[in-house]
A = this chain, B = another copy of it.
Amino acid sequence: MSDILSERTIPDIVVGRLPVYLRALQRMLQEGRRVTSSQELGERLGISAAQIRKDLSQFGEFGKQGTGYEIEKLAGQVQNILKVDKVWDVIVVGAGDIGSALGRYPGLNNRGFCVVMIFDNNPGKIGGEIDGFVVQNSAAMVDVIRAAGIQLAMIAVPAEAAQEVADQLVEAGVKAILNYAPVSINVPPGVKVQYIDPVVHLQRMTYYL
Contacts and interface: CB of A to CB of B under 8 A. Distances in A.
A201 B209 contact: no
A204 B102 contact: no
Contacts of A45: 184
B209 A175 contact: yes
A20 interface: yes
A178 B154 contact: no
Contacts of A23: 182-184, 197, 199-200
So how many copies of this chain end up in the complex? 2
Contacts of A203: 18-19, 22, 82, 84, 111-112
Contact of A202 (B46, B152, B183, B208): B152
Interface residues of A, number: 60
A27 B159 CA distance: 9
A23 B205 CA distance: 16
A35 interface: no
A108 B197 CA distance: 10
A44 interface: yes
A51 to B, nearest CB: 14
Contact of A199 (B108, B202, B204, B209): B108
5 contacts: A23-B197, A44-B184, A97-B100, A102-B198, A152-B206
Interface of A: 10, 15-16, 18-20, 22-24, 27, 43-46, 81-84, 88, 90, 97-98, 100-102, 104-105, 107-108, 111-113, 151-152, 154, 159, 175-176, 178, 182-184, 186, 192, 194-209
